[in-house]
């Protein structure tokens, strides 16, 4: 079956521009996560969706970052007025959803490498 | 304080030997889950193994095992019979209770030498 897909795989933009990064989760997965991975670091949580709603957006660094998931499937991460410091790999993950235990395996996409010049 | 600490930026192991990748964690929750992921140079994160805080036995998945020492708050990954394809970054991660966030360490780069 298809895994998590992300497009584009690479995005180069100029400082100040607007970008959109897309994530297509595994079919049937209700939970969707966005992470940012800077060079030499582990993934850093940005936002979590359960269904269509953003259940936890505490990891978004500032109001230039926004994400939507209007139909509870595909999600788009939007970055306004990009800055050089936004350059990173943006990872998307999905899972079946929260359960009664702490086990909740996340399946990751290949990531989008964003470069802001 | 860091939630997950991986103190080995890089490790080398001879092919067919075993290697241990260290991970310590910090939480005050009684219920939590610990995960290990592998990230090859291609970039995708591959789930390897999971250990629940209430699991009494160490988790094992094929050549991967997790040395869980709850009192020390450590969850080291042991890879037995290393293969060249094991060369990658390895990340330890934790989920607290039913929380939504996964906290990742900074990773360990493993190189398997032929």
Taking the CA of residue A103 and the nearest CA in chain B, the distance in Å comes to 6
| Binary contact (B106, A42; C-beta < 8 A) | yes
pLDDT band, very low/low/confident/very high, at A49 (cuts 50, 70, 90): very high
pLDDT computed for residue B100 by the predictor = 72
| Across A64-83, average pLDDT | 96
| Binary contact (B106, A41; C-beta < 8 A) | yes
Q: Which of residues 4-33 of A touch B (CB under 8 A)?
A: 31, 33
Contacts of residue A117, defined as CB under 8 A and 6 or more positions apart, other chains included, come to: A12, A13, A14, A15, A84
Asked if B92 and B105 touch (Cβ cutoff 8 Å), the reply is: yes
pLDDT computed for residue B22 by the predictor = 98
Phi, psi for A84 (deg, rounded to 5):
-60, -35
| Across A32-58, average pLDDT | 91
Parallel, antiparallel, or unpaired for β A107-108 and A88-95?
Answer: antiparallel
3-state secondary structure of B49: strand
> How many DSSP H helices and E strands does chain B contain?
0, 12
pLDDT band, very low/low/confident/very high, at A53 (cuts 50, 70, 90): confident
Report the residue of chain A nearest B41, measured CA to CA.
A110
């Amino acid at each position: 079956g298809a895994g998590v897909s992300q497009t584009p795989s690479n995005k180069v933009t100029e400082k100040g521009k607007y970008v959109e990064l897309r994530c297509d989760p595994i079919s049937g997965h209700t939970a969707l996560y966005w992470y940012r991975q800077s060079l030499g670091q582990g993934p850093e949580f940005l936002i979590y969706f359960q269904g269509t709603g953003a259940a936890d957006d505490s990891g978004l660094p500032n109001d230039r970052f926004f994400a939507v998931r209007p139909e509870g499937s595909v999600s788009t991460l939007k970055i306004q007025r990009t800055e050089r410091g936004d350059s990173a790999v943006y990872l998307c993950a999905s899972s079946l959803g929260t359960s009664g235990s702490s086990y909740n395996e996340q399946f990751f996409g290949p990531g989008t490498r964003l470069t802001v010049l | 304080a860091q939630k997950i600490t991986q103190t080995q930026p890089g490790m080398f192991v001879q092919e067919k030997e075993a290697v241990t990748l260290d991970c310590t964690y910090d939480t005050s929750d009684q219920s939590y889950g610990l995960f290990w992921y592998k990230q090859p140079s291609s970039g995708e994160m591959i789930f390897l193994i999971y250990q629940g805080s209430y699991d009494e036995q160490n988790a094992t998945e094929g050549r991967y095992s997790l040395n869980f020492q709850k009192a020390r708050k450590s969850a080291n990954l042991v890879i037995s019979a290393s293969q060249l394809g094991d060369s990658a970054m390895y990340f330890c991660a934790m989920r607290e209770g039913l929380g939504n966030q996964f906290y990742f360490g900074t990773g360990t780069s493993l190189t398997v030498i032929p």
